[in-house]
């Protein structure tokens, strides 16, 4: 039996990295998948590679800072596949770097609007359908919200994702009576386009090999290999499935044991 057989899953933030891997895992595991992202071109490309016949996917350009667009994506899932069983929130604003002293709080507000409020907007848009039969909300957080990385400063990103975890606890209590589960996956460093880009940049800047930079990142991990986007996606697919039916209000680090809690 397929992990997500017969389920319909909404995935936000379907780009070339984690969002694509989450959508791919859900399709592989038998789900109908509704793809959302701001860029239409990326959506069309993702749908073509995941489901060339267009039988089990649908897509709509969606900016999660716009409530009407969130509602339209949820409505597409209902009209095309008859309901929503899970929503996986990958969409995020993660490229703003820096700490407090050099903070541009206008930028911080944008990060919070996407990462915290955008996730909540998209969740609320899916609630009427989720309440029909119960289901799962899976948020993508970050290890940076519990242990700030030493290699880069991500204060705004970490704070916004930390707030999302706090919201998760409240939502798990609020939505539990409707049999809606709410959980968070917290990746650490994960091998995919963003980390590949960082490793290449650091190697060029420092004049060292990429292997040297990668070894510096993985040396503090309990496992000898960095988690990948696909590993995080598999965790999200599990939490979206009925095999996680008794799990709610939990945060799961997927980080090869770099931080243990």
SS3 label, residue 61: strand
Identified catalytic residue from 157, 169, 198, 201: 157
Residue 198 is a catalytic residue: no
Q: How far apart are CA 216 and CA 247, in angstroms?
A: 34
Given the structure tokens 């209590």, which residue do they identify? 173
Half-sphere exposure of 129 (CA within 13 A, CB side): 28
Phi, then psi, of 2 in degrees rounded to 5: -70, 145
Q: What are the helix (H) ranges across 87-228? A: 105-112, 119-133, 155-175, 193-206, 210-218
Q: How far apart are CA 229 and CA 234, in angstroms?
A: 9
Beta bridge partners of 10: 34, 87
Phi, then psi, of 36 in degrees rounded to 5: -130, 140
Q: For residue 243, what are the CA distances in angstroms to 84, 94, 235, 236, 261?
A: 17, 30, 11, 12, 23
**Token pair for residue 119?**
């996730």
Q: How far apart are CA 130 and CA 142, in angstroms?
A: 25
Q: How far apart are CA 258 and CA 218, in angstroms?
A: 8
**Which residues are catalytically annotated?**
157
């Amino acid at each position: 039996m397929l992990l997500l057989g017969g389920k319909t899953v909404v995935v936000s933030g379907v780009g070339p990295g984690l969002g694509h891997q989450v959508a791919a895992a859900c399709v592989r595991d038998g789900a109908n998948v509704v793809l959302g992202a701001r860029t239409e071109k990326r959506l069309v490309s993702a749908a073509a590679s995941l489901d060339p016949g267009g039988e089990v996917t649908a897509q709509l350009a969606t900016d999660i800072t716009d409530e009407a667009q969130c509602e339209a994506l949820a409505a597409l899932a209902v009209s095309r596949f008859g309901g929503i069983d899970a929503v996986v929130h990958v969409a995020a604003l993660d490229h703003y770097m820096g700490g407090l002293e050099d903070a541009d709080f206008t930028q911080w507000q944008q990060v919070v609007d996407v990462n915290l409020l955008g996730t909540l907007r998209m969740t609320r848009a899916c609630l009427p359908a989720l309440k029909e039969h119960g289901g799962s909300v899976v948020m993508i957080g970050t290890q940076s919200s519990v242990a700030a990385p030493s290699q880069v400063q991500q204060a705004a990103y970490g704070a916004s994702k930390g707030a999302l975890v706090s919201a998760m606890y409240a939502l798990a209590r609020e939505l539990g009576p409707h049999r809606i589960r709410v959980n968070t996956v917290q990746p650490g460093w994960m091998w995919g386009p963003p980390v590949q880009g960082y490793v290449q940049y650091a190697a060029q800047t420092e004049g060292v090999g990429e292997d040297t930079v990668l070894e510096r990142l993985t040396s503090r991990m309990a496992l000898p290999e960095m988690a990948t986007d696909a590993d995080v996606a598999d965790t999200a697919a599990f939490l979206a499935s009925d095999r996680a039916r008794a799990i709610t209000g939990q945060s799961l680090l997927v980080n090869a044991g770099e931080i243990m809690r």
